[in-house]
Amino acid sequence: MRKRLMILALVLIAVLMTCTLAACSGGGGRCSGGHTWDEGTVKEAATCTESGTLINKCTVCGIKREVAIEALGHDLQTIPGTVVEPTCEVDGYAGKKACVREGCEYVLDTGTVIPAIGHAYGDWTSNGDGTHKRVCSNDSNHVESGNCSGGTADCGHKAVCDVCGGEYGDFASSHVFDKQVTTDAYKATDATCEAKATYYYSCQCGEKGTETFEYGDYADHVYDREVADAEYLVSVATCTSPAIYNKSCVCGLEGTETFEYGNALPHTFDNEVASEDYKATDATCTAKATYY
């Protein structure tokens, strides 16, 4: 009897092993081409740093398996509300960068200070009221203002600001005669052989003053003066010609062109010339020839 029971037990074991082998090889031949796994059920969820476990079940034979789920890795992002943009005068903040996955507390960077960028002012421009301003290109609300300065006003122009280049203030109340303009409008005297031409000083506005300055060259001598002085005498008067003099310049310089002055002298018959031109009578045996 015991022998029979032992044989029956061996047979049952053999059957069970056969069934198990059949299931492992595809459920009695049903999965011989490979199992068809379902989407699976998560047994243990993966985290940023730890892998998880997924259980798949064959939809044909029902066999199950465990599959490892890879660690997810950190989902690093800049945390909203922690970024502050720098301004011209105030430092900014780069923001906190950390993992945003639920349950993870990993922080990559706590954030750093971003230095203020400083102002970027443009050129100064006139406000037209004796002041000027310049505006920051980073923020138009940042404006610097100041009063115009420098430059010198005259009777025709306002002062020009050294900073913005705009006119400001009032015209000067009096003329300044410091301009040397050598046009006929300002000429006082023409040039001569003894003096240069003179001109009146003028103001920036064109007004003529009373003080003069010299300009240019001396004029050439003009020998148009007829002065009958001994220093200019060329020849004295005779009975046939008046006295002859050289003309002179206004400066007194003697020229070469001559002029006659006065009258010829009366004749004086005191010359004894014994020529036929002057014979009065021929000589005779009782008288000599006579001449005028």
Closest by Cα among 240, 242, 289 to 267 = 240
Q: What pLDDT sits at residue 26?
A: 43
Closest by Cα among 161, 160, 148, 157 to 175 = 157
Alpha-carbon gap, residue 169 to 147, rounded angstroms: 11
Alpha-carbon gap, residue 236 to 261, rounded angstroms: 10
pLDDT, tens digit only, all 292 positions of the chain: 455 555 565 645 544 444 343 444 444 457 888 999 999 999 999 999 999 999 999 999 999 999 999 999 999 998 888 889 999 999 999 888 999 999 899 998 888 899 999 999 999 999 999 999 999 999 999 999 999 999 988 888 899 999 999 999 988 878 889 999 999 999 999 999 999 999 999 998 889 999 999 999 999 999 999 999 999 999 999 988 999 999 999 999 999 999 999 998 998 887 788 888 888 888 888 888 887 7
CA 195 to chain centre: 49
Beta-bridge partner residues of 160? 167
Alpha-carbon gap, residue 11 to 7, rounded angstroms: 6
Q: What pLDDT sits at residue 249?
A: 94
Q: Spell out a b/e string for 10-47, using b for 16 or more CB atoms within 10 Å of the CB, else e.
A: eeeeeeeeeeeeebeebbeeebeeebebeebeeeeebb
